[in-house]
Chain A
Amino acid sequence: MDRQAIMEQGLTQPLVAPLLSPAARRRQLREKVIAGFITLMAFTGIAALILIIIFVAKEALALFTEPEARHEASLSKMFLAQDVAPGRPPFRWQPVSKVPKVSMIPLFVGTLKTTAVSMLVAVPLGVFGALFAAEFAPRRLRELLKPVIELLAGIPSVVLGFFALMVMSTVVKEALGFDRPLNAMLAGLGLALAIVPVIFTVSEDALTSVPRSYREASLALGATPWETAWKVVLPAAAPGILAACVLGFGRAIGETMIVLMASGNADVISWSLGDSARSLSATIAAEMGEVVVGSPHYSLLFFIGVQLFIFTFVLNLIASTWTRRVVRKLTGGAS
Chain B
Amino acid sequence: MSLNPNAPRPKMEARELTLRYGTKAAIQKVSLAILDRRVTALIGPSGCGKSTFLRALNRMNDLIPGANHTGTILLDDMDIHDRSVDVVDLRRRVGMVFQKSNPFPKSIFENVAYGLRVGGMKDKSALEQRVEKSLRGSALWDEVKDRLHESALGLSGGQQQRLCIARAMAVEPQVLLMDEPASALDPIATAKIEELIHELKATYTIAIVTHNMQQAARVSDRTAFFYMGELVECGATEQIFTNPREKRTEDYVTGKFG
Contacts and interface: CB of A to CB of B under 8 A. Distances in A.
Interface of A: 139, 211, 213-224, 227, 231-232, 235-236, 330-335
Contact of B95 (A221, A224, A333): A221
Contacts of B91: 219-222
Contacts of A217: 98, 102-104, 164, 167
Nearest to A221: B115
Contacts of A334: 150-151, 153-154
Contacts of A221: 91-92, 95, 114-115, 118, 167-168, 171
A235 B111 CA distance: 13
A227 B118 contact: yes
26 contacts: A139-B65, A211-B102, A213-B98, A214-B105, A216-B63, A216-B102, A217-B164, A218-B118, A220-B58, A221-B92, A221-B115, A221-B167, A222-B92, A222-B171, A224-B118, A235-B106, A236-B104, A330-B105, A331-B106, A332-B107, A332-B150, A332-B152, A333-B107, A333-B149, A333-B150, A335-B151
Interface in B138-157: 149-154
B97 to A, nearest CB: 8
Interface residues of B, number: 35
Contacts of B75: none
Contact of B102 (A213, A227, A335): A213
A133 to B, nearest CB: 16
A139 B105 CA distance: 26
A323 to B, nearest CB: 14
A220 B90 CA distance: 9
B80 interface: no
Contacts of B95: 220-221
B47 interface: no
Contacts of B154: 333-335
A200 to B, nearest CB: 23
A97 B91 CA distance: 73
Residue among A217, A218, A219 with most chain B CB within 10 A: A217
Contacts of B92: 221-222
A334 B60 CA distance: 30
B119 interface: yes
A235 B110 CA distance: 13
A333 B106 CA distance: 9
A223 B88 contact: yes
A90 to B, nearest CB: 52
B63 A219 contact: yes
Interface string B55-69: 000101001010000
B89 interface: yes
B145 to A, nearest CB: 15
A224 B90 CA distance: 12
B173 to A, nearest CB: 8
Nearest to A220: B96
B59 to A, nearest CB: 9
Interface string B33-67: 00000000000000000000000001010010100
B19 interface: no
Residue among B65, B88, B100, B167 with most chain A CB within 10 A: B88
A334 to B, nearest CB: 4
B150 A222 contact: no
B197 interface: no
Contacts of B73: none
B108 interface: yes
A-B pairs with lowest CB-CB distance, top 8: A332-B107, A222-B92, A334-B151, A221-B115, A213-B102, A334-B154, A220-B96, A332-B151
B118 A332 contact: no
Given A221-B92, A221-B95, 12 more contacts: A213-B100, A214-B104, A216-B96, A217-B104, A217-B164, A219-B91, A220-B95, A221-B168, A227-B118, A231-B117, A332-B151, A335-B151
